[in-house]
Amino acid sequence: MKKLIAFDLDDTLAPSKSAMQDEMAEQLGRLLSHRQVCIISGGKFEQFQKQVIDNLPVPKELLLNLHMMPTCGTAYFKYNIKSDKWDNIYSEGIPREDKQKIIDALEAATKKFSYWEDKTWGDIIEDRGSQITFSALGQSAPVDEKMKWDPDSKKRNQIREYAAKLINDYEFRIGGSTSIDVTKPGIDKAYGMSRLIRELNISKEDILFIGDKLQPEGNDYPVKTMGIDCVEIGNWQETKLVVQAMNLLFK
């Protein structure tokens, strides 16, 4: 029986950059009363707060079962019930001199293929400390616009492959609906899962991971390569059905 259920966030627990829907939040809250839960995704912690924490209908004690790993596991936050705050356990920052190289490579690749959009909503390239993220339509683009831009990931694969050749000592992986996440090599979702395994004194066999980017170029793929059992889903509604089934099983 699995001890930890781990999830991607955007398009797995919630629509991209949006709050969890009430029915998903209810099911996730129930799951927290049965199992340890980890959310590991490309957004910053503040995005996790907005999308998940602020919408969870659970007592604070259950937050002790929730493990937050923003920026693809390059950082880890754990709830401190005494201070009623989230403690940053670690953060694997990117050196300042490398950040600009990554930004320049992403911009060059996007413009080479004429994918640099004029109409955007917010920053296209964001420095998240331990991760640089490219969002083709901007960080705050409407979900319907995001879903139309690159549904088969073809555009982002072109950008990712070209940018990776320009700066080959970082990992470029597809995330979200229009994004590419860049992290230090080896500091990815597999790294985050490995750190959590040590933190909780469990094994990879004790974990089930649920995500939508488990293909080789996706940012969920490193978890799969660890040998962790994975379930690939297409949207948050599918995740809700999976969690509902688990809640019935764990009851």
pLDDT at 16: 87
pLDDT at 176: 86
Which residue ranges in the chain fall short of pLDDT 50?
Answer: none
Which fold would CATH assign to domain 4-92+186-250? Rossmann fold (3.40.50)
pLDDT at 20: 96
pLDDT at 250: 87
Residue 150 sits at the vertex; the CA angle it makes with 146 and 156, to the nearest 5 degrees, is 115
Do the Cβ atoms of 155 and 117 come closer than 8 Å? no
Helical pair 22-32 and 236-250, crossing angle rounded to 10 deg: 30
pLDDT at 166: 96
For 10, list phi and psi in degrees, rounded to 5. -65, 130
CATH 3.30.70.890 fits 96-183, yes or no: no
pLDDT at 50: 96
Tell me the C-alpha distance between 72 and 38, whole Å: 12
The CA-atom distances, in angstroms, between 146 and each of 43, 111, 143 are 16, 19, 5
Domain residue ranges of the chain, discontinuous segments joined by +: 4-92+186-250, 96-183
